[in-house]
Chains A and B, each alone.
Chain A
C-alpha cells in the first residue's frame, strides 16, 4: 500500500472549474438573445446560426487534425461553438450561406488556429471573421431584414438600421432625421433591424446577469464600456442635438453584445481589473468616435479589435495592486 501513494505538491484540491464550464456558461448566457433573434428573424436566424456554428466546429476539427496534426482535438471545449455563435450574432439574418462559411473559415482559421489555437490568439476570432466579411462584402453585410419576416431567408425585405439613421443625421447635420428612429422600448426588447444577436438589449442584459452570477466574468469591462459611451455620447448630444441621445447609443448596434460578450473574451482582454477598466473606457471612447465621425455607422467591432491589439501593452503597464504596496 505504502508505495502506491501519490506524492504531489499542494494544493491538493481544485475548485472544479474548467474551460468547458466557462465556455458553455457563456453559451447559456447567449440563449435569451438567440431566442429573441429566432422570434424576430425566424428562419433566417436559424439558418445563419446553425451554419456558422457547424462551419466553425468543422474548420477547427479539420485544421487540428490535418494541418496542425495534433492528437487531441479541442472542439469539445465549447470554444469553437462559442465563436460560431458569436459570429452568427454579428451577421444579418439574410446573409447567404457561402459568405457565412467564408466568415467561419477566417474566424477559426486565421483568427484562432494560425496563432496556435485556444488561448494564443491576440484578436477575438469572431470579430476577425465579422470584420473580414464587413470589409469584403460591404453590401451584403449592411442590408438588414425588417423584423417579423419569420419564413424568409435571403429573400427578406430590408430596412435601415437605427445606427445608419443616426449616422445620416450627423452627416446631414439634421436632427430631424432622428425622428425616424424607433422608440427606445422597442429597441430594448428587440423590434428593430440589425444583426442577429444585437437586437434586444434586454436579452443581452439577462445574459450579463447570468455571467456575473456564475462568476464567469467580472463587471469591469462591460460597465466601463457602457458608462463611457453613455457619458461621452451624452455630452455630444447636449452640444449638438444632431448627435443621437445616449440612450440610443446604448440600445443600438452591437454595443451591448460587444460590451458584454465580445470585449470580455478571456483570451483577448486584459488580466488586471485596472487594465480592464482602461480597456473598457478606451473601447467606449473609440466606439463613439467611430460611430459619430467614421465611414461605418457601426463602431463597436472596430473599437474592440483595435483595443485587442493594445492588450499586451495594457497588461505590462497596469498591474494589480500588490499586497502592502505603498500608495503612490
Chain B
C-alpha cells in the first residue's frame, strides 16, 4: 500500500466520533464573521450596522486576488462591526449579526437533487468558485480560485484530493465522504474541468475502510477518478507528502508549488463546497466540524453555520467538562490552542478538541540525548535537533543553510522526542526569523 517515503509518525488515532452521522447544529443567536478567515488579504465588509441580511448574502468582498469574500450564514440584522478573538489568538475585525428566523437567498438551490452535468467553461467554473468564497477547508484556508489559476508556465496533469484526515480525533472529512460521496465526486470532475486535466485521485488512509469501499463503488462511473488507499502515517495530509504518496513525485524546496510536479491539490471538504457553489449556487457558509475529546460526554460531527460560537457546539455535546485543560481549534498535531470557547466557527474549522488537564500539560524538557528520532521522524528530511539548537543560539545563517524554510510545522519531531524538548517552538522561531531575513534581502534587490 502506498505512503510517502521520508519520515512520519503514528500518533494514537482516537477517532472517537467515527461513524457518527452529521448532526445539523442549531442556529446561533449571534453569528460572528471574522474578516480574515483565509490566507491573504482580509475581506472588506460590504454591509453596515442595521442592514438586513439573508442566509447566503455577501457581507464582505474579497480584499484582493489572494483573498475571498464572506457570506452570511444566517438571516437577521447586522448588529455591529467590531473585533473578536479568533483561533489565532489575536483580536481581528469581525461582523456581528443578530439572528432572526432562517430566510435564505432565493438564488440558492436547496434541493437534494444531484446535479452532475455542468456546461460552464473552465474559467466560468473558477469564477463561480471565487465568487462563492471557497477556500481550502483542510485548515490552511488558501483561496481555492488561486490554486485553480496556476501560473501560465505550469502544466497541471492531475487533481489530487486530500481525504486523508491524518490528524488524530478528527472525523469530519470521513463522515462527509460517507454521507455525500456523489457530490464530492462531481466536485472532483468540476475541478478537473476547471484546470483542464483528465486524471483525478482521491487519497484515503486505510483506517477508513468504509469510506474507501463506498467511494470506490461510486467512482466506478467516473473512469478518470481513482481512489487511492494509503497506509496510515502522519503527516500524510501534508500536500507534499500526499503528492509523494499518490503519484510518487517530490515537490522541490520552497518556493516551488505542487503544480511544479503537475499536481493540483484540494481537500475533500473543499470538493463538497465546490459542488455546492457551482451546481447549487450556494456560497460557502456552513461546514462539517468534529467536536471531540476524551472527557466530552458525546463527541459529535456537526454541520455548523459559520459564525456559530464553539461553546454552543460544545454545549450540544454535553458541555465543557470540569477537567478541561485546553481547547484546540483543529487536530492535536497542528491545531491551535484557543484562548476561550467563544471563538466562532470559520471556513477552516475542521474540529474542536477538548483536552483534559492531564493531557493538556507538556512534560518537562530534558537534555537532548541525540537519539536521532527527530531526524528519522521528519517528513521533510530535515534535522530538527540541529534547527532547534541553531534557533536557540540565534544562528539564523546556519538555520537558513540547513533548509529551515522547508519545515512544514507538522510537529512529528516534537511528538517523538523522548526528552520532550520544545523542538517545533524553536524551529518556528527560527523559520519565521529566516523568512523575514529572506524577504528583507529580496526587497533590497
Contacts and interface: CB of A to CB of B under 8 A. Distances in A.
B381 A321 contact: yes
A252 B406 CA distance: 46
A195 B376 CA distance: 34
B324 A320 contact: no
A22 B415 contact: no
Q: Looking at A8, A11, A18, A266, which has the most chain B CB atoms within 10 Å of its CB? A: A11
Q: Looking at A19, A77, A268, which has the most chain B CB atoms within 10 Å of its CB? A: A19
B334 interface: yes
A118 B332 CA distance: 30
A117 interface: yes
Q: Looking at B168, B240, B353, B366, which has the most chain A CB atoms within 10 Å of its CB? A: B366
B403 A218 contact: no
Contacts of A117: 367
B69 to A, nearest CB: 29
A64 B277 CA distance: 66
Contacts of B253: 322-325
Nearest to A321: B381
A271 interface: yes
B245 to A, nearest CB: 12
Q: Looking at A10, A14, A117, A118, which has the most chain B CB atoms within 10 Å of its CB? A: A10
Interface string A257-271: 000000000111111
Contact of A19 (B252, B337, B340, B369): B369
Q: Is the interface of A mostly helix, strand, loop or mixed?
A: loop
Interface in B290-324: 320, 324
B336 interface: yes
B272 interface: no
B336 A118 contact: no
Contact of B335 (A12, A269, A270): A12
A67 interface: no
Interface string B407-420: 00101101111111
A319 B380 CA distance: 12
A323 B416 contact: no
Contact of B11 (A2, A15, A272): A15
A118 B369 CA distance: 7
Given A1-B324, A18-B420, A13 B332 contact: yes
A144 B416 CA distance: 43
A5 B415 contact: no
A6 interface: yes
A322 B406 contact: yes
A266 B367 CA distance: 12
B360 A6 contact: yes
B372 to A, nearest CB: 4
A326 interface: yes
B256 interface: yes
A284 B217 CA distance: 55
Contact of B366 (A77, A276, A320, A324): A77
A322 B360 contact: no
Given A5-B327, A6-B361, A267-B370, A11 B418 contact: no
Contacts of B369: 19, 22, 118-119, 266-267
Contacts of B412: 11
Q: Is the interface of B mostly helix, strand, loop or mixed?
A: loop
Nearest to B371: A266
Interface residues of A, number: 42
A239 interface: no
B337 A322 contact: no
A1 B325 CA distance: 9
A232 interface: no
B47 interface: no
Nearest to B240: A323
A77 B12 CA distance: 25
A247 interface: no
A327 to B, nearest CB: 10
B419 A5 contact: no
Contacts of A12: 326, 328, 332-333, 335, 337, 353, 355, 359-360
Contacts of A273: 376
Given A77-B366, A320-B381, A325-B381, A10 B325 contact: no
Interface of B: 6, 9, 11-12, 89, 168, 240, 244, 250-253, 256, 320, 324-328, 332-342, 353, 355, 359-363, 366-373, 375-376, 378-383, 385-386, 403, 406, 409, 411-412, 414-420, 424-425, 428
6 contacts: A9-B424, A10-B334, A13-B12, A118-B367, A319-B383, A325-B381
Interface of A: 1-3, 5-15, 17-19, 21-22, 77, 117-120, 218, 266-273, 276, 319-326
